[in-house]
């Protein structure tokens, strides 16, 4: 198996030197295990957290260990009655070409129904994140305004489209005119705002004449600063991610904004609520059924950015934290 390991922990922005490629022999599967050939590897922002030793909700990847990640794989050899050679499965096998996995940890995929890569995006963890957190914490109502950034990504694009299904107005924030065009033309957002534009804050205000009822927080930083004055009484802010801060090395610069934020929380009765998607896992059956039917009948559209070759994974991942991806970032391993 060719493997990409964590070679060292990054200081700030990761570099290619933080990764190392090695070859290792793959053990034979034992009873209840399968041998997998990895076809697709998902690259996700949370992997930046796993590269750091800082305490978080999940243990870090050890230096010298294979980078973790969700994968779509083909069963090559099975020692479990539920799987046979040729089956396509969702596994968590990480940045490598082959792996042995416990059959109990796998989900079988049906390539006849939808492309298998959707199990890493719109019908996988990111889509589930959008669905469960928007409906449970954001609770968009008819006629309300929902704002989301990183809006062409797998989480953001699903948030905006589900908000539309619920009768809300969807305003997407993305980096650059091409992504903004996709928000309107491909994903059906009502407005698209470029956070790299000098007039970003004014543009956002103009796009939200009735204020913001739900801000689905994916990025933090200057985007949140532009959103904050527009939040309405009783606005909900599910805090999903802060990707603009993942490469930051503290302490944070600038004047202390916390007292002003707390005043807003009080006087506007805001609900700011962080979460990790696993909290909502009992909603998985609903998600698979409902989101599956929305994707099948074209009500929810998705965009994938597929990079060829495992050796491209480090650069593609570094780019993900800077908005170089356009859609769900996936590595085609083989
Ligand atoms: P995306 O594919 O959307 O990739 C991240 C995007 O963030 C980039 O493409 C870029 O889009 C945007 N971005 C990067 N830097 C900045 C910046 N400085 N300012 C503004 N935008 C920036 O990722 P996902 O859809 O997979 O994830 C979206 C968010 O959801 C992340 O924060 C992630 O950590 C979080 N998440 C949280 C989960 C949870 O359980 N809490 C589960 C899954 C995801 P652009 O070019 O448009 O700016």
User: Measured from the CB, is residue 227 less than 6 Å from ligand 1?
Assistant: no
User: Measured from the CB, is residue 223 less than 6 Å from ligand 1?
Assistant: yes
Predicted confidence (pLDDT) at residue 253 exceeds the cutoff of 90: no
Q: Which CATH architecture has domain 2-121+303-332?
A: Alpha-Beta Complex (3.90)
**C-alpha neighbours within 13 Å on the C-beta side of residue 155:** 26
Ligand 1 centroid vs 296 CA: distance in angstroms? 25
Tell me what pLDDT residue 252 has: 76
**E strand or H helix that includes residue 88:** strand 88-91
| Residue 176 CA, closest ligand 1 atom number | 46
Report pLDDT digits (tens) over 149-186: 999 999 999 999 999 999 999 999 999 999 999 999 99
Q: Are 129 and 153 in contact (CB under 8 A)?
A: no
For 40-49, 72-81, 241-250, which range has the lowest pLDDT when averaged over its residues?
Answer: 241-250
Q: Are 174 and 186 in contact (CB under 8 A)?
A: no
Tell me what pLDDT residue 317 has: 98
Tell me what pLDDT residue 142 has: 98
Report pLDDT digits (tens) over 275-322: 999 999 999 999 999 999 999 999 999 999 999 999 999 999 999 999
Percent of the chain with pLDDT over 70: 100
Write out the CATH class of domain 125-278. alpha beta
Q: In the predicted model, what is the mean pLDDT of residues 257-268?
A: 97
Q: Are 265 and 272 in contact (CB under 8 A)?
A: yes
Spatial CA neighbour of 35 closest among 110, 125, 106, 109? 106
Site of tokens 């589930």: 128
pTM: 0.97
**How much is the mean pLDDT over the chain?**
97
CB-based burial of residue 12 (10 Å sphere; 0-12 exposed, 13-18 middle, 19+ buried)? exposed
Residue 304 Ramachandran class (φ > 0 left, ψ -120 to 50 alpha, else beta) = beta
Pair of tokens at residue 204: 């956002």
Tell me what pLDDT residue 164 has: 98
* DSSP assignment string, 111-146: TTTS-GGGGGTTTSHHHHHHHHHIIIII---TT-EE
Backbone angles phi and psi of 15, in degrees to 5? -125, 165
Identify the band that residue 250 occupies on the pLDDT scale cut at 50, 70 and 90: confident
User: Measured from the CB, is residue 156 less than 6 Å from ligand 1?
Assistant: yes
Say whether 125-278 and 2-121+303-332 share the same fold: no
Pair of tokens at residue 48: 């930046």
Whole-angstrom distance, CA of residue 138 vs CA of residue 268: 16
Whole-angstrom distance, CA of residue 99 vs CA of residue 151: 33
User: Measured from the CB, is residue 152 less than 6 Å from ligand 1?
Assistant: yes
Distant-in-sequence, close-in-space partners of 64: CB < 8 Å, separation ≥ 6:
5, 6, 7
Report pLDDT digits (tens) over 185-219: 999 999 999 999 999 999 999 999 999 999 999 99
Whole-angstrom distance, CA of residue 258 vs CA of residue 254: 11
Whole-angstrom distance, CA of residue 87 vs CA of residue 55: 37
| Domain locations along the chain | 2-121+303-332, 125-278
Tell me what pLDDT residue 259 has: 96
Helices (H), 79-153: 125-133
| Residue 242 CA, closest ligand 1 atom number | 32
| Residue 45 CA, closest ligand 1 atom number | 34
Ligand 1 centroid vs 174 CA: distance in angstroms? 10
């Amino acid at each position: 198996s060719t493997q990409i390991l964590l070679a060292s922990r990054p200081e700030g922005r990761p570099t290619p030197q933080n990764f190392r490629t090695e070859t290792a022999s793959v053990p034979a599967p034992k009873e209840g295990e399968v041998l997998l050939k990895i076809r697709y590897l998902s690259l996700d922002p949370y992997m930046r957290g796993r590269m750091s030793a800082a305490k978080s909700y999940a243990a870090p990847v050890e230096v010298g260990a294979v980078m973790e990640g969700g994968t779509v794989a083909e069963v090559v050899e099975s020692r479990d009655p539920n799987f046979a050679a040729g089956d396509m499965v969702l596994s968590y096998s990480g940045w490598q070409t082959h792996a042995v996995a416990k059959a109990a940890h796998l989900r079988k995929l049906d390539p006849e129904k939808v492309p298998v890569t959707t199990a890493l995006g719109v019908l996988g963890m990111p889509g589930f994140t959008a669905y469960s957190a928007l409906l449970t914490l954001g609770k968009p109502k008819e006629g309300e305004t929902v704002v989301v950034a990183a809006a062409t990504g797998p989480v953001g694009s699903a948030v905006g489209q589900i908000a539309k299904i619920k009768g809300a107005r969807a305003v997407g924030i993305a980096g650059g005119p091409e992504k903004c065009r996709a928000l309107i033309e491909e994903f059906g957002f009502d407005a698209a705002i470029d956070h790299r534009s000098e007039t970003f804050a004014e543009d956002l205000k103009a796009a939200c004449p009735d204020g913001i009822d739900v801000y689905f927080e994916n990025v933090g930083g200057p985007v949140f600063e532009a959103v904050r004055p527009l939040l309405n009484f009783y606005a909900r802010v599910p805090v999903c991610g802060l990707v603009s801060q993942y490469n930051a090395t503290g302490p944070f610069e600038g004047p202390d904004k916390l007292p002003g934020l707390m005043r807003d929380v009080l006087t506007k009765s805001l609900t700011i609520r962080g979460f990790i998607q696993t909290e909502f896992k009992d909603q998985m059956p609903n998600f698979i059924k409902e989101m599956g039917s929305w994707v099948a009948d074209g009500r929810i559209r998705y965009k994938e950015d597929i990079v060829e070759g495992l050796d491209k994974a480090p650069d593609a991942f570094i780019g993900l934290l800077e908005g170089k991806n356009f859609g769900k970032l996936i590595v085609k391993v083989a």
